A and B are shown apart, each in its own frame.
Chain A
Amino acid sequence: MTRNAITPRKTLFVVYLGGFLVLALQSFLSLPILKTGAPRWIIGNTLVLFTGAFIPLHTAALLFGYSLYFKTGELFQESGRHQAFLATVKSASISFIVLTAFYMALLEGILPAGVRIRDEVTRRNAEASHLLAQARSALEEKRYTDAVALLERYNRILPDDPEVKKDREAAVAGSAAQTGRTVRDGDVHPDLPPQGMAFQDFLARAEELFARDDYIGAEHNAAMALKLDDRHPGPKRILAASREKISRASPGRRERENIEFFRQKRVGHDLLERGDYITAFYHLQKLQADRPDDPEVLHYLEEAYRGTRKISFFLDEVPWEPHAGVDETLLFLNRRDAEGWEFISIRRFLPSFGGETRYEKPEPDVVLRHQEGEGNILSRLGRFFRSSGSPSSSPGTPTGHFALDIEGIKISSGGEKIFHFKAPYGKFIEDSLVMRCLDRGRRNASFEPAYLLGEAPDSSPSLIRLGPSPEDLSVLSAGLSRARSLNGAELLTVSKTFSRLGWDPFPVFRLFFDRLLLPFSFLTLSFTATAFGLRLRSRYLGRPPAAAFLFLPILPFLTGLVFEVYRYVCSPFPAAVLAVYGFPAATAVFFVQQGLLLLLSLILMAREVRG
């Protein structure tokens, strides 16, 4: 009995998979920002489309096959008696159960993975495009060091892109020409100083330089050693001797510049020691522009940058905002205390993949970890099918999260505003949303939150402590904007997050039941379609006319319509119980309902088989 549906099933699956592939390809070509990841994006999109149409395709194949090919003789034994019901439907039932398992794998694994891959490829490409545009603009303005740094971030997202090879070569060559030395491709800043210099290092260097008659360098290193231990006589001696030599030598222009440069370096170091990272950063950045290959400046600059990143971030780190046709506002209850409720809204929540600018050459193990992150084919496959509890998990883990157009408000129990602020940019750092956004090139062009009412609730006006983590917000974002593409386990995670962040979880539970309905529908509708196929079987005396086969590709559209009616009819009963009695009762009602529908479909089939 099963063979009647095999050919139409194969034909429909192959034809529609091909059609969806063409559609996905067409969508891909209409998105100019997508430069790489084409196979993943296209396959992901094809699978999403195919999974969505799986039930209509299968029911159409069954209807077509049984109504056109089935011979009533298959129902009878040689003696002319009816075959036993179970013997007749056994092979069909087994194939339906196997296909249901396959469909569940599609729904729970492939569909969410397909959506995730599609979204991730789009986001990564968008960010890469933005970085490339910035890098090319830096190249035009002859800011070669910036261009190299931006292209390095670009390469982290899209490694080995041949299109940027020329840009990279131009940036490296320009940087080398500016600094007067050769920069190897792949290195941002070679010849870095030893990391974390200690007292003994400064003292040894001071002694070495003094011996080489480099009194300016010796004075600087001795002063630095004194900062670490001001009671030690060694650096005091070298410092005094160096200063004496310098004062006697009546330095020329170059020496005076060196003295000033070393003085400014010490100012930078002092700023770092005081914890004034932002001022130190701009100060050292200026020094680095004067002497780009000074290892100490680079080391301090990296330290200042690290300190700055704890309390602020740079505008050029903010990922480019891809165009979105849908509202992606994130609104959540941040904190609830005796005083009142605190809400935060974020117009756009963006993960970043490019990482941050590096001023120092990365440690070898960091490079190794980065390379390992790409993974072999097995680990890639594992990531493709991975379905963790978090809908935010993706094959490319974001390196940071940013927020655009932030607004916060706190309402007292009496309904009064306690504070209200707005900020254009924010970055998630540890358990806070930091809203001080700096412009790397301009000290005074920073963006800070504006308080329309009240005062900042936490230690600094430029940050607010967050109840939820970026991962929670990714889950909330997924639940609000693309919940239909999540699998069952992810929807349960979303429902918990919704409750925690002040949202009504009822719509998510409804989606959960809607999702749970699909595999049951597949099984029930397979039996029902078989029954209707048998009931409406053709009465052609010979082979069906060729025109009949033109109906095959149209049939899934019609079964799709019937499937929508079926879903619409099935969905309100568990939802109604959910609203009044809660999730466990609704689950029980759902299973009873599906059991009854399956029984009804078997009765329909038995009626047709037994006559």
Chain B
Amino acid sequence: MKDTLLVPVRYVFRGILFFAVIGIVAAFHRHALSAGRVKILESFFLTVLADGPGIGFFSLFFALLVSHFSIIRRPGLKTLSLVLLLATATVSLYFGLHGLSVLRGGARTGAALPGSPPPAERLRKTAEAYLWVGDTKSTPLRTILLLEPGKGSAGFKLYPEGVYNAEKETLRILQTGRELSLSPGNGEETPKFLAPLFRDVAYAASIATPGTLFDPKSGIFVLAFVFFGFSLWTLARISRWPLFNMWIVFGVAWLTLMGVRFVGTVLAPELARLGPIAAFLPALFPVTFGLVLFLGGLLLPPLKAWKRDLRYD
């Protein structure tokens, strides 16, 4: 019984742990990308404010999947464990995302986070051009040299002044009004395999995050995702090879998130003529998958006999 009651506690703990780890890693990345100009703590809060819902969604959804394997391995009342897990996941995902969304909204209206301009007298490559700034101590920055690659005759351009925007990481050339992004733009920030995962998670988080405390549309999406995550329980014991089960659970979860983004961004606009229901189409994907898996799970042997057969007990 103790193990059963600890299931929601462990789930929440895992969710918080994943959130903290991802947040810290992302904060250090931000800190390193700004070449130390944005302090670590500042960077952590900036990360939580900017990407909080995405990180929160991933952490809680991932914790739900990990919990399945934990329930399989540990003793306890399985049905009650799963019901408790389902309830805790729904509540924590809905309110967790809402809380993070409120934090983000507050930050938007707050003061800009402090930062500092690029280093003086150093060449650097941005996504759009090569850049060199002579004097970064003054405001606005002085003596800005730009070189746009691949433009042939465009060549060097020298501007007397520009204004650095720490929040957007841009440099605005005062003479022309052009806004130049200072991000390196070489794809080094995110590894190539992870970038699509980040995009899928960010999209799922964006549709599941409640704008207000009572947001039925987001509620439906949260329920759809939690139900789908819950139904992956079937795949967690699909074979006698846990390694395969684990990969198949995470693989199907990602494929579904990919499908959700595809339906939401590619198909839903095409099907807009269906009316307001089109907005809910992305939820159909995890719900349908979830139902298939849930019903498939009913055909599997009872858990107790399965565990005995696999010598888990």
Contact = CB atoms under 8 A, between A and B. Distances in A.
Interface of A: 63-64, 67-68, 327, 329, 331-333, 341, 343, 345, 347, 405, 407, 409, 411, 415, 417, 420, 422, 480, 501-504, 506-507, 510, 532-533, 535-540, 544, 548, 551, 555, 558, 560-561, 564-565, 567-569, 571-573, 575-576, 578-580
A128 B241 CA distance: 57
Contacts of B124: 503-504
Given A67-B242, A409-B158, 16 more contacts: A67-B243, A329-B130, A329-B150, A345-B155, A411-B134, A415-B134, A420-B156, A501-B123, A539-B242, A548-B241, A561-B193, A561-B194, A564-B193, A568-B191, A571-B32, A576-B32
A550 B219 CA distance: 40
A407 B158 CA distance: 13
A333 B123 contact: yes
Contacts of A575: 28-29, 32
A63 B242 CA distance: 11
Contacts of B34: 579
A56 B189 CA distance: 21
Give the 4 A-B residue pairs with the shortest CB-CB distance, closest first: A579-B36, A572-B28, A575-B32, A415-B143
B184 interface: yes
Given A417-B158, A560-B193, A548 B145 contact: no
Contacts of A409: 145, 156, 158
Contact of A568 (B25, B132, B160, B247): B25
Contacts of A578: 32
B40 A331 contact: no
A347 B156 CA distance: 12
B35 A506 contact: yes
A402 to B, nearest CB: 18
Interface size class of chain B, counting residues whose CB lies under 8 Å from the partner chain: 35 or more
A54 to B, nearest CB: 16
A329 B156 CA distance: 12
26 contacts: A67-B242, A327-B150, A329-B130, A329-B149, A329-B150, A333-B123, A341-B121, A341-B134, A343-B156, A345-B147, A345-B155, A405-B152, A415-B142, A504-B122, A536-B246, A537-B243, A538-B241, A539-B309, A539-B310, A560-B193, A561-B194, A565-B194, A571-B29, A571-B32, A579-B35, A580-B36
A535 B73 CA distance: 11
Among A560, A578, A580, the one with the most B-chain Cβ atoms within 10 Å of its Cβ is A580
B184 A507 contact: yes
B189 to A, nearest CB: 9
A521 to B, nearest CB: 13
Interface string B10-46: 0000000000010001001101101110001000000
Nearest to B197: A561
Contacts of A67: 241-243
Contacts of A555: 247
B26 to A, nearest CB: 8
Contact of B122 (A417, A502, A537, A571): A502
Given A504-B122, A579-B31, A331 B158 contact: no
A535 B255 CA distance: 25
B269 interface: no
A411 B158 contact: yes
A331 B147 contact: yes
Contact of A548 (B122, B149, B193, B244): B244
B22 to A, nearest CB: 9
A63 B243 contact: yes
Contacts, number: 136
Contacts of B309: 539
Contact of A576 (B31, B150, B190, B191): B31
A133 B266 CA distance: 49
A504 B35 CA distance: 10
B28 A576 contact: yes
Nearest to B246: A536
B168 interface: no
Contacts of A537: 242-243
A580 to B, nearest CB: 4
B295 to A, nearest CB: 23
A302 B206 CA distance: 73
A502 B132 contact: yes
B240 A572 contact: no
B273 interface: no
B2 interface: no
Nearest to B310: A539
Interface string B160-180: 100000000000000000000
Contacts of A329: 130, 147, 149-150
Given A415-B142, A539-B241, A576-B31, A407 B156 contact: yes
A540 B241 CA distance: 7
B191 A510 contact: no
Given A409-B158, A480-B125, A569 B242 contact: no
